[in-house]
Amino acid sequence: MRIEAVGGDITTQQVDVVVNAANSALLGGGGVDGAIHAAAGPTLLAECRELRRTSLPHGLPAGDAVATGAGELPARWVVHTVGPDRRAGQTDPDLLASCFTRSLDVAAGLGAASVAFPAVSAGVYGWDVGEVARIAVAAVRAWSAAHDDAPVTLVRFVLFGDAALDAFRTALASA
């Protein structure tokens, strides 16, 4: 599997899956979540509302992932994952790693070959972007090693801002 880090807008990525750093309500929010919902259009919100009405009445728990269509995004699907909120005391790095591995599980189950991730839990959820980068890269590498027959051949971390991009490039450069 190829793993890369690029700067840019995750909503413009032409990949099979765009991962959304969602909140547990799945109904849109700020940051990446708000940008994805805005770019995807109303069908994404309608699918999320249906998930809440049916299979996820209490919302999506931190560390888990679920898929919807991608609406008007150039991707085929959106995989929503809820990162741990450090400000609320959710400081377990395994819970953060689970966001990346569960998202890859869901993407592979869809038959996706390419997945774009944001820096889940960095920013408003209070995790240091360097720590997020180290955990994310390690989780993706471990998942790849354990799933060599999976359809996912590309993971692209799409970062907004130089600090996040530098942190992910540094994490990728370490063995």
> CA Rg, the chain, in Å?
15
Written as six digits, the tokens of 84 are 């741990």
Catalytic-residue membership of 64: no
Return the closest-CA partner of residue 20 out of 110, 134, 106, 144. Answer: 106
DSSP element (H, E) containing 69: strand 65-69
User: Which tokens belong to 51?
Assistant: 């998930």
Of the residues 33, 64, 92, 162, only one is catalytic, namely 33
Which residue from 136, 129, 135, 130 is spatially nearest to 157, judged by alpha carbons?
136
Active site residues: 33
